[in-house]
Amino acid sequence: MQPRKILVVDDSKLIHKMFEVLLRQYSLVHCLDGLEALQALGNHADIDLILLDINMPRMSGLEFLNQIKADNFFKEIPVVIISTEGKEEDTVRGLEAGAAAYIKKPFGNQELLEVIQRL
């Protein structure tokens, strides 16, 4: 069986490196902002889950989320918001915009894996 494919959207290169180690059993697609992520969705029809940062240059996580939720095909992909502590309003807006779950930075490895497996 092919590994499940996860789109990681975050402007922090460190986060991408951490996820490479933590999520070894998955196939990861890496993007640094929402615009890049929209292109990646067009190139990978088989994304199973999206891990989404909020604060990013060019296109924020919330803008990206609103765009894919307006798309009949992409709106079915579960989105997990990776939010910075103290930015609760972003998380609330993300959940209102259709995110399936959120994880607060700094997060525990186990917490992250559980949320991904659940979705």
Contacting positions for Mg ion (CB under 5 A): 11, 53, 55
The residues, any chain, with a CB within 8 Å of residue 91's CB and separated by 6 or more, are 54, 81, 83, 102, 104
The residues, any chain, with a CB within 8 Å of residue 36's CB and separated by 6 or more, are 9, 58
Cβ 61 to Mg ion shortest distance, Å: 8
Name the residue nearer to Mg ion (CB basis): 27 or 84: 84
Cβ 56 to Mg ion shortest distance, Å: 5
Letter for the amino acid at 72?
A: N
Cβ 17 to Mg ion shortest distance, Å: 14
The residues, any chain, with a CB within 8 Å of residue 105's CB and separated by 6 or more, are 82, 83, 84, 85
Cβ 81 to Mg ion shortest distance, Å: 11
Name the residue nearer to Mg ion (CB basis): 27 or 55: 55
Name the residue nearer to Mg ion (CB basis): 14 or 45: 14
CA distance 24 to 100: 22
Name the residue nearer to Mg ion (CB basis): 3 or 57: 57
